[in-house]
A and B are shown apart, each in its own frame.
Chain A
Amino acid sequence: MADTLKQLIQAGVIAACAQIFVALSNMPVAFDDRTIVEPWLSMGYLSLLIVPLFSGSLQSRKIKLVNQQLSSIARITSTAPDTDTDTKRTAHSSPTHAPHATTESKARPHPVFSLVGFPAFSGFLAGAGLSLLAVSIVNFDLRDPLLNWSPQLLEVLNFERSVITAVFAWPIICSALAAASGVLQLVNKKIRRMVVAATVAVVGAAVLESLVVDIAQGLHIKPLISKLYAPRGGLHSAGLLIVVGATMILALNSQFHVLRLLRARLGRLITTRRDYERRSDSISRHSSPSSPRRGLRLLGLVASLSANTKRLAVALLILLVLPMSTGKLTNELLANIGLFVLLALGLNIVVGLAGILDLGYVAFFAVGSYSMAVLTAASSPKVSPELPWLVALIVVVAVTALLGLCIGTPVIRMRGDYLAIVTLGFGEVIRLLFLSDWLSDWFGGAQGITNVDGVELFGITTITGTDPRSVFYLVLVFCVLAVYVSWRLERSRVGRAWMAVREDETVAQIMGINTVNVKLLAFVVGAALGSFSGAIFVAKVGSVFPSSFHIIVSIVILVVVIFGGMGNIVGVIAGTVVLIGVLGGPRQPGLLQEFSEFKMLIYGALLVWLMIARPQGLIPKAHKTRRLQEEDVEQDAWLKASDSEMESLSQATTAAAPPLTRTTPAKTPASTELPLLETRALNVSFGGLRALKGLHITVREGEIVSVIGPNGAGKTTLFNAITAAVPVSGGDILFDGCSLLGLDPNDITTLGIARTFQNVRLFGSMTIRENVMAAQHCRNPQSILGSLLCTPTFRRQEAEIRQRAEQILRFFGSRLVGFRLDQPAESLSYANRRRLEIARALATQPKLLLLDEPVAGMNPAESAELAALIVEIREKWGVTIVVVEHDMMAVGAVSDRVIVLDHGGKIAQGSYSDVISDPHVIEAYLGEDYAITNS
């Protein structure tokens, strides 16, 4: 109980501090004029009241969780005595057996009391903080350091009455609100959702007032406005009822699940697209392109597209029509949002897809703006070619992409966090350069370049900042372009490579991806998209100043991208619309213009809160949100239902899929040619430790060789040396007759060596299919242009990759296919992860497969199965295999030959039976004494 009290007081004090901070930050005074509900609630009070609400709901949720746990413990201990009288006695007589349940159940207050009363108590403390503040303002003068220690604040705190009101009212109000949020935890989940939705709707309706009014005026439905809003702003009491009522009806209509349904809808958007892809695949598989059924196929495509396309078309239509009916301010806002959507989509490629934290993204925006201004404006100080806009745009994109390359190259090999700071530095340096006297001949220094003309398109229209509607349409075009580019790239070879690099860079490289080039490409694509935004920004504002490109811009874009959900296009757009629309950009006002002072404060707090509480953002990638149990149930159902379907499907695809076998057929183990792999006097050392000492081994083509040895013998180091994961300090490694020294891991994979890892390292949040598809990177000639334009060649290649992936996965039985194909790899069981890792290695089409403890951690049945599979891999695909393994059953089952390492050197080799009776081997494993007595 004392603990609970301490926690409550702690929560209360924290809430009080938060409220005092809010009060002293001037928010209540600044927002006082913004009414939410006409006579009795303004944004200013809301900013204060939101604290006890939030803290109360946090508290009550915590208490609820504890209560649930306690009651479940109590249930266990209370059911136990029925079966065992002994326990009953002990449980009652001595509390040591179940201290929690027995002591707490007596002391534990009624749930209503704990859920409502406890938060109310901490709410009371929070309110007391405000009372204290009001009294202090009356009695002391701290105006000197604290700017907002002002009579105005006192007025707000006093409710424009006397201090006594403040002293009594705040604790009561705050504890009532905290208690209310506790009550919400008591009631039915559906009702809770409804209340929350209604509250959000009321605040939203008030916040969106100017937008609603603007649209309504454009559509000539003024009566609506007067019904909803009071003349001086804010909702009427009647308007309040309308909004609440409408929300309730909506909520009832959608079976109480407004929010969840919305999320599910958005999730479905993504899955339906997957379905479409699958369907269009099957369509293209069944009909050859030149067949007379082409028209039919198109029709089929349209039919399968519809669900997705309809939504897209509706969204586009609204975006096209909406600005017609809205006023200048709204259009201005829309144009600003559009500019930030462009930036956010660009950064999303860099941060969300490729996982490169670029904190200097504003550099590309700045360079885009400045180069556009120099190229098109007559007022440009040094050179003014006054190129037509579209021509200039090409130059601008080229310049920015080049800059992306130049900034990217030095930083791309750095570790993620260093890269972040260095890019931040570059962003700042570029602003300083534009600002400097040194380059002021070119860029005008602090004065910047002014009087930049608008965009003249084909002599038909001119787009300037004075007509925000035209700017919006221009931005829209580029946004659609950016969405298209991101969408296409994400589902192509390079997109998968980006995601693989994001998940695990080392492994991505060992899977044959040239990580440096791939990351540079992300940088360049991001830069190009950022430059679009910059180019339009100039036309909109009509001038460029260095101060528009402060580092804050980068951070705001980052917040927006994280808020929406990194890596998810829909999420990023939604996040940008919400945040930039409501709060505004660094220098652009949002709907809440009073917020300009507090914008960055809110962005900062939001970023911290997001990282702690919701790092995946508002709308995370769809497949991650599904619950694992649901998946298992569905997988089981699928397995039962579709055995027969599987059969037919596998027959169909084996007929259609390209042959996976490499040209070399499986050979008999004892071929006498040049060895496939040979190490010559291989040395690897870490500091003083020599992990491999002059190791000579050979592996002939078609063999399965096991490498065994005690821990620390250098087995994994051997693999690491072969795949260039550790530097070789002496000797040579020959593969197919050529040396591997000095090559990058991805080159080695391209030559035909693939490996798995001792501690399974999959691309966790990518799906199983994507894992295997990404590994085909080095065998896949897909071009970026092809994937952008979606050419037939691209589609064919993509289908091939996909089929090959499924074919490989099917090799492992039903475990990795079917429903599982689109599940994230991290949802798999341990044994299945090991299998998937082998599948991923096979997908690189190796000549030599290095398996690092493939059966570790599996049960005997699974081990035996996998051992059989390893042999089958050689039979089916003619792959030479080297296995590092401790499980001697598996070693005996698979190996043609066994090599034994100890202390970095080879101590024995030969057949399994020879090796296990070799005295040196026994000595290495069991110690000298045993070896001597045995021999």
Chain B
Amino acid sequence: MRTPRTGVDWFLTFLRLLLLGAATLGVLLFIVQQVYPDNLITRWVNPVSANLTASQFKGLLVSGLTQGAMYGLIALGYSMVYGVLGFINFAHGEVFMAGAMTGMIASNKLDDAGIWESNFLGSLAFVLAVAVATSTLAAIAMEKVAYRPLRNSPRLVLLITSVGMSFFIQNASLVLLGAKSKSYPRAAEWLNGNVGVIDVRGSRLLVIAVAGLSAVALWWLVERTKTGMAMRAVAEDAEIAALMGIKVNRTIVTVFAVGGAMAGVAGILWGLMFRSVTHSTGFLPGIKAFSAAVLGGIGHLGGAMTGGLIIGAAESVGPIVFFEPLGVQGATQLKDAVAFLVLVGVLLIRPSGLFGERLPAEDRV
């Protein structure tokens, strides 16, 4: 950050302070409101505010974190592709949607056959496999059709292509499967009840557990295997990697495949959590996941996961904690705006993200 000199600099400084100030003020007011529900400011700013109980707050937080785990899984794909190819794969959200969609079809077929209820875990595993396979294939196909011919183009060209791809996939789903929102069959009973003493719905625990497992598996793949080493080498410098005998094209395909697989897992988790899926399901989670990747530091896998959790929690709790104390009515409607605000805030205050230290080569000079 540079010392302000021009009008633009001053305005940016002002914006940064405004963002930080509003966030702090919101939190302070929220705390005050929690401690003295009947204080003057609250009565003046926000007369209709309902006080949150601790368990409500916890519920919001947990559901936010669950959703955040999915964002994190999707963000991994953004982050990996950005790390290796240096462009934002805008259509990655659609890969997630494709996973959720095929998962829905598969689980409904199983439900019709009666297997879904009788052997829930088995069919879940099957559905997961189908969804992961679809997402992986979608990501690979996308790379082959759209991105490979443009490998050495400027990243804006690739970004525009991926925007086109995103709209194509979204609308392909629309024309093939229809616009109606489609639902997953009901999950097994034990998932809907609370689990033991910790008083959290089972499905949420499952989501967090599966997301955590996938993230660990990915970490292992990237850090501990030969393929992972190839990925890291290509991310560092594709040309040199090729000279060292690494098959760059295959590595890039692997990156897309792995990113797609993670998105597929997220798709099934989405289905379990929300049970409904439409052709536009992928759009907003996609952008939020991108925000998460930027927040964590793009190219940094742990950062992507953490960023996802933060964004999920922020958009679930944020409207109540930040917006409502500031007097915004119907604050939960602005849930989707939170992720964007976080994105803008991160880029204004710390563009390299929470964990990112390395910027792509062309930005270093």
Q: Does the CB pair A611–B160 fall under 8 Å?
A: yes
In the complex, A600 Cα to B172 Cα: how many Å? 9
- Interface of A toward B, CB cutoff 8 Å: 21, 24-27, 144-148, 355, 357, 359, 409-418, 420-422, 424-426, 428-429, 432-433, 435-438, 516-517, 520, 552, 555, 558-559, 562, 597-598, 600-601, 603-608, 610-612, 615, 686, 720, 725-726, 742, 744
Top 10 A-B residue pairs of the complex, sorted by shortest distance between their CB atoms: A607-B164, A604-B167, A437-B330, A604-B168, A425-B340, A601-B171, A25-B175, A608-B164, A611-B161, A147-B178
A558 and B343 within 8 A (CB): no
A425 touches B287 (CB 8 A): yes
User: Which of A516, A600, A610, A725 is close to B8, meaning CB atoms less than 8 Å apart?
Assistant: A516
Q: A603-B167, A611-B150 are in contact. Are A420 and B156 (CB under 8 A)?
A: yes
Apart from A437-B329, A516-B6, A607-B163, 13 more pairs, CB < 8 Å: A425-B339, A429-B340, A438-B334, A559-B164, A562-B160, A597-B174, A598-B171, A604-B164, A607-B160, A607-B161, A608-B161, A608-B168, A615-B153
A895 to chain B, nearest CB (A): 28
Q: With an 8 A cutoff between CB atoms, is B55 at the interface?
A: no
Inter-chain CA distance A435–B333, complex, in Å, is 9
Q: Which residues of B contact A606 (CB under 8 A)?
A: 164
Of residues B164, B165, B166, B339, which shows the largest number of chain A Cβ atoms within 10 Å of its Cβ? B164
Asked if A146 and B177 sit within 8 Å, CB to CB, the answer is yes
- 19 A-B pairs within 8 Å (CB atoms) are namely A145-B108, A145-B177, A413-B8, A417-B88, A425-B291, A425-B344, A428-B287, A435-B333, A438-B331, A516-B8, A598-B175, A601-B175, A603-B167, A604-B167, A607-B161, A611-B157, A611-B161, A726-B365, A744-B5
Minimal Cβ-Cβ distance residue in A for B337: A429
- A416-B155, A436-B330, A604-B168 known; A359-B176 Cβ under 8 A: no
Of chain A, the residue at the smallest CB distance from B172 is A601
Q: Which of B156, B167, B170, B331 has the most CB of A within 10 A?
A: B167
Give the docked Cα–Cα distance between A146 and B176 (Å): 6
Q: Complex: how many Å from CA A239 to CA B85? A: 53
Q: Which chain B positions have C-beta within 8 A of A607?
A: 160-161, 163-164, 167-168
B331 to chain A, nearest CB (A): 7
A562 to B163, CA, bound (A): 13
Cβ of B146 within 8 Å of any chain A Cβ, yes or no, is yes
Say yes or no: A601-B343 contact (C-beta < 8 A), given A24-B176, A409-B12.
Answer: no
The distance from the CB of B89 to the nearest CB of chain A, in whole angstroms, is 11
Is B105 positioned at the interface, with any CB of A under 8 Å from its CB?
yes
- B15 contacts A by Cβ under 8 Å: yes
Contacts of B329 in A (CB 8 A): 437-438
A517 CA / B11 CA spacing, docked (Å):
13
- Known: A607-B164, A611-B150. Contact between A417 and B170, CB under 8 A? no
Q: Which of B136-190 contact A (CB under 8 A)?
A: 145-146, 149-150, 153, 155-157, 159-161, 163-172, 174-178
Q: Interface 1/0s, chain B 9-42, versus A by CB < 8 A?
A: 0011001000000000000000000000000000
Q: With A421-B290, A422-B343 given, is the CB distance from A436 to B333 under 8 Å?
A: yes
**Whole-angstrom distance between the alpha carbons of A437 and B159 in the complex?**
34
* Complex alpha-carbon distance, A746 and B296, angstroms: 33
With a CB–CB cut-off of 8 A, which chain A residues contact B336? 428, 432
Q: How far is the CA of A21 from the CA of B329 in the complex (A)?
A: 46
Q: Which residues in A have their C-beta under 8 angstroms from that of B126?
A: none
**B166 pairs with A604, CB closer than 8 A:** yes
Contact between B157 and A615, CB atoms less than 8 A apart: yes
Asked whether any CB of chain A lies closer than 8 Å to the CB of B87, the reply is yes
A-contact 0/1 string along B308-346, CB 8 Å cutoff: 000000000000000000001111011011011101100
The reply on B348 being an interface residue by CB < 8 A is yes
B233 → A minimal CB distance (Å): 21
Contact, CB under 8 Å: A415 / B165: no
Contact of A412 among B8, B163, B172 (CB under 8 A): B8
Report yes or no: B160 in contact with A414, Cβ–Cβ below 8 A: no
B95 in contact (CB, < 8 A)? no
For A424, the chain B residues whose CB sits under 8 A away are 287
| In the complex, residue of chain A having the shortest beta-carbon distance to the beta carbon of B87 | A417
Contacts of B334 in A (CB 8 A): 432-433, 436, 438
Contacts of B109 in A (CB 8 A): 144
B216 contacts partner chain A, Cβ-Cβ < 8 Å = no
CA–CA, A359 and B294, complex, Å: 18
Distance A516 CA – B4 CA, assembled complex (angstroms): 14
B160 partner residues in chain A, CB cutoff 8 A: 357, 558, 562, 607, 611
A422 contacts B164, C-beta separation under 8 Å = no
**Which chain B positions have C-beta within 8 A of A357?**
156, 159-160
Contact indicator B159/A428 (Cβ below 8 Å): no
Q: List residues of chain A with CB within 8 A of the CB of B333.
A: 432, 435-438
Q: Specify the chain B residue showing the minimal Cβ separation from A14.
A: B145
Q: Report the Cα distance A243→B241, complex, angstroms.
A: 58
Q: Flag whether B118 is at the interface (Cβ < 8 A).
A: no
- In the complex, whether B213 has a CB less than 8 A from a CB of chain A is no
Q: Which of chain A's residues have a CB closer than 8 A to the CB of B56? A: none
Q: Are B166 and A438 in contact, CB atoms less than 8 angstroms apart? A: no
Contact B159 A420 (CB under 8 A): yes
Contact assessment for B344 and A410 in the assembled complex, using a CB-CB cutoff below 8 Å: yes
- Name the residue on A nearest B178 (C-beta): A147
State in angstroms the CA–CA spacing of A429 and B341 once bound together. Answer: 9
The complex places the Cα of A415 from the Cα of B155 at a distance, in Å, of 10
Chain B residues lying within 8 Å of A686, measured Cβ to Cβ, are: 364
B53 in contact (CB, < 8 A): no
Chain A residues with CB under 8 A of B150 = 611-612
B169 to chain A, nearest CB (A): 8
**Distance A432 CA – B330 CA, assembled complex (angstroms):** 12
Given the contacts A436-B330, A436-B333, A611-B160, A26 and B287 also touching, CB distance less than 8 Å: no
Quote the shortest CB–CB distance from B296 to chain A (angstroms).
14
Query: In the docked arrangement, what's the CA distance between A558 and B176, Å?
Result: 25
The distance in angstroms between the C-alpha atoms of A146 and B109, with both chains bound, is 13
- B228 contacts partner chain A, Cβ-Cβ < 8 Å: no
Q: A21 to B109, alpha carbons, bound, how many Å?
A: 22
| Closest Cβ–Cβ distance, residue B320 to chain A (whole Å) | 14
A424 to B90, CA, bound (A): 11
Q: Is the CB of A425 within 8 A of B343?
A: yes
Residues of A within 8 A of B108 (CB): 144-145
Which chain A residues lie closer than 8 Å to B164 at the CB level?
Answer: 559, 603-608, 610-611
A745 to chain B, nearest CB (A): 13
List CB contacts (< 8 Å) of B222-241 with chain A.
none
**Residues of A contacting B149 with CB < 8 Å?**
612
Assembled-state Cα–Cα distance A82/B153 (Å)? 45
CB pair B290–A601 under 8 Å, yes or no, is: no
**Which residues from A are CB-within-8-Å of B340?**
422, 425-426, 428-429
The interface bits of chain B over 237-274 (1 if a CB of A lies within 8 angstroms of the residue's CB, else 0) are 00000000000000000000000000000000000000
Complex CA gap A603/B167 in Å reads 8
Query: Which of B160, B166, B294, B329 has the most chain A CB atoms inside 10 A of its CB?
Result: B160
Tell me whether B171 and A600 are in contact (CB under 8 A): yes
Cα A413 to Cα B347 with chains together (Å): 10
- The smallest beta-carbon distance between B1 and chain A, in angstroms, is 11
B180 to chain A, nearest CB (A): 9
- Give A499 to B174 CA distance when docked, in angstroms: 39
CB pair A600–B156 under 8 Å, yes or no, is: no
The answer to whether A555 and B8 touch (CB under 8 A), given A421-B287, A436-B330, A611-B150, is no
Q: Are B5 and A148 in contact (CB under 8 A)?
A: no
Query: For the complex, what is the distance from the CA of A414 to the CA of B160, rounded to whole Å?
Result: 17
CA A483 to CA B11, docked complex, whole Å? 32
- In the complex, which residue of chain A has the Cβ closest to the Cβ of B330? A437
Point out the residues of chain B lying under 8 angstroms from A615, CB to CB.
153, 157
Taking a contact as CB atoms under 8 Å apart, the answer to whether A422 and B8 are in contact is no
A571 → chain B, closest Cβ, in Å? Answer: 16
Nearest Cβ in chain B — how far from A800, in angstroms?
Answer: 28
A849 to chain B, nearest CB (A): 22
- Interfacial chain B residues near A359, Cβ < 8 Å: 163
Q: State A895–B328 Cα separation when bound (angstroms).
A: 69
Contact among A25, A415, A605, A611 for B363, CB-based, below 8 A: A415
What is the chain A residue whose CB lies nearest that of B341? A429
